Amino acid sequence: MLETEGLTIRFGGHAAVDGVSCAFHPGTLTAIVGPNGAGKTTYFNLISGQLAATAGRVRLKGRDITALAAPRRAQLGLGRAFQLTNLFPNLTALENVRLAVQARSGRTLDLLSRAARHQDLTDQAMAHLKAVALADRAGAISATLAHGDQRKLEVAILLALEPDVFMFDEPTAGMSVDDVPAVLDVIAAIKARGDKTILLVEHKMDVVRSLSDRIVVLHHGRLVADGPPAEVIHSDVVREAYLGGAAESDHG
């Protein structure tokens, strides 16, 4: 479904992502882990097209998308949670999701459309808000939502766009503990559909362990481990990447 080959970006002399080759398959959830600054977000930016690669390729369903701009990649099925700044802060949560439903269904805004069709779009949008436990805030102006609710809204919009590939970069970061389960449940539900390709950057190891089929470890921009969670979590390379100097000092 999605593949990177030798994917690299240099900022000045520093390779933030360094020759990463990896393939991601439908029906699987791959956790991407690594210490802060490892290059996880930059890797996502290279895949979704927010950054242009210095070297290497990105392929989606066999098609080379390396030279395509981010919106085109999104049209082809790459889904990344939007930042709220890219949305319409003065519209309600429901209106923002409804616009995404409408964009996905390819219908242009038709002021003469029948009320029933309008209602259909609204119902679909409401279902996505329910899926992320945000139905009770449907009528709230997006800009006024609490941080956790804004992150949920991003996920609802992503659901509405129905991508083939879902990319989540620390989806629960900064959320209160009460909000976390709704977001994890919706990711688990996407996985349960069995046809979507999911990439998840996540620090919480219990979450990684319970949701992922596979763990890829980035360290200093390089892919240093790739395998089943049980193997990777206990591997020396992960211990070293996470513990660094602490592990060395243990030895002496």
Ligand X SMILES: Nc1ncnc2c1ncn2[C@@H]1O[C@H](COP(=O)(O)OP(=O)(O)O)[C@@H](O)[C@H]1O
Which strands, in side-by-side order, build the sheet including 55-60? 14-24, 2-11, 55-60, 63-64
**Looking at 39, 148, 163, 229, which residue binds ligand X (CB under 6 A)?**
39
Query: Which CB sits closer to Mg ion, 41 or 92?
Result: 41
Cβ(157)–Cβ(181) under 8 Å? no
42's contact among Mg ion, ligand X, none, with CB below 5 to 8 A by partner kind, is ligand X
Buried/exposed code over 53-67 (b: 16+ C-beta within 10 A; e: otherwise): beebebebeeeebbe
Query: What tokens does 22 get?
Result: 């990896």
Q: Is 42 in the site for ligand X (CB under 6 A)?
A: yes
- What one-character DSSP code corresponds to residue 35? S
Give the residue with the Cβ less far from ligand X, 57 or 203.
Answer: 203
Number of residues this chain uses to bind ligand X (CB under 6 A): 10
Per-residue x/- marks for Mg ion, 38-77, CB under 5 A?
A: --xx------------------------------------
Cβ-based nearer residue to Mg ion, 41 or 48: 41
Measured on CA atoms in the order 53, 56, 60, 63, is the torsion positive or negative?
positive
If contact means CB under 5 to 8 A according to the sort of partner, which of ligand X, Mg ion, none does residue 36 touch? Answer: ligand X
**From the CA atom positions of the chain, what is the Rg in Å?**
19
The stretch near ligand X (CB under 6 A) out of 29-37, 76-84, 121-129, 135-143 is 29-37
Q: How far is the CB of 10 from ligand X (least distance, A)?
A: 9
Compute CA distances 32 → 38, 204, 216, 239, whole Å.
10, 11, 5, 15
| SS3 assignment, position 158 | helix
Q: Residues 22-41: x/- map of binding to Mg ion (CB under 5 A)? A: ------------------xx
* Residue 35 identity (one-letter amino acid): P
Residue with smaller CB distance to Mg ion, 131 or 167: 167
| Phi then psi dihedrals of residue 91, to 5 deg | -95, 160
Q: Which residues bind Mg ion (CB under 5 A)?
A: 40-41
Q: Which residues bind ligand X (CB under 6 A)?
A: 11, 16, 34, 36-42
